[in-house]
Amino acid sequence: TLTSKKMASNVTNKTDPRSMNSRVFIGNLNTLVVKKSDVEAIFSKYGKIVGCSVHKGFAFVQYVNERNARAAVAGEDGRMIAGQVLDINLAAEPKVNRGKAGVKRSAAEM
């Protein structure tokens, strides 16, 4: 049955190092078009998602372990979804500006 499929929780903000290392930041996301279910569908192929939260223009996906998170970053960074190129990295390791146009927010501002 469809009802037994457990949705990932919205909790992606735990600050313990283990969950930081297994959390993926998805930036430049067209959240007018892309929904939480879409994010989960794309990223679930890299491992079990325990949390997913979608915000205006970005999202976080929380995996069970760091290996899943790194695989997702490697596999999806730079992918185009809904006309925008995703900017993906581990939440624990923000990318220092890679010379891309556009202003990167510092971790302190987020």
The residues pairing with 59 across neighbouring beta strands, listed in sequence order, are: 26, 54
* Global confidence as pTM: 0.76
d(CA 104, CA 16): 24
Which H or E run includes 87? strand 87-90
**Predicted local confidence at residue 8, as pLDDT:** 65
**Predicted local confidence at residue 103, as pLDDT:** 45
Residue with token string 């430049």: 28
pLDDT digits (tens, 9 = 90+) for 37-54: 999 999 999 999 999 999
pLDDT digits (tens, 9 = 90+) for 64-106: 999 999 999 999 999 999 999 999 999 988 766 544 444 444 4
Confidence check: pLDDT of 109 > 80: no
Q: Which domains does the chain have, with CATH numbers?
A: 17-90 (3.30.70.330)
